[in-house]
């Protein structure tokens, strides 16, 4: 660091990485929680046919995202940010 400007830039970069990691970690944790809840609710139904169809549907999904899926994800994220801005 050579001065206050570089310090502020470094602080901003560090804060950006910290917030990004916290948001990413929270999203990952929520994904696992909702996945476990979904699996539990499927088990509660006691419907083996539904459970098998659910497993097959999850296995069929492609592992790579297409461009349209990325665009759709971006639109959804933008909607959430707009809603958060509106309520804050």
Domain ranges of the chain: 4-87
28 and 21 Cβ atoms separated by less than 8 Å? no
Average pLDDT over residues 69-85: 73
79 and 72 Cβ atoms separated by less than 8 Å? no
CA 77 vs. chain centroid, Å, equals: 9
1 and 7 Cβ atoms separated by less than 8 Å? yes
25-67 pLDDT, tens digit each: 888 888 888 888 878 877 887 778 888 887 787 777 665 666 6
Top-confidence residue, 74 or 21: 21
Q: Which residue has the tokens 């999850």?
A: 58
Quote the pTM value.
0.48
Distance CA 45, CA 68 (A): 34
Mean pLDDT over each residue of the chain, to the nearest integer: 77
pLDDT at 1 over 60: no
Tokens of 83: 């809603």
């Amino acid at each position: 660091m050579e001065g206050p400007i570089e310090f502020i830039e470094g602080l901003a970069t560090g804060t950006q990485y910290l917030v990004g990691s916290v948001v990413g970690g929270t999203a990952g944790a929520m994904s696992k929680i909702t996945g476990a809840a979904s699996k539990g609710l499927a088990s509660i139904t006691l419907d083996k046919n539904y459970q098998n169809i659910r497993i097959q549907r999850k296995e069929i999904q492609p592992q790579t995202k297409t461009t349209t899926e990325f665009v759709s994800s971006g639109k959804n994220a933008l909607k959430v940010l707009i809603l958060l801005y509106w309520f804050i």
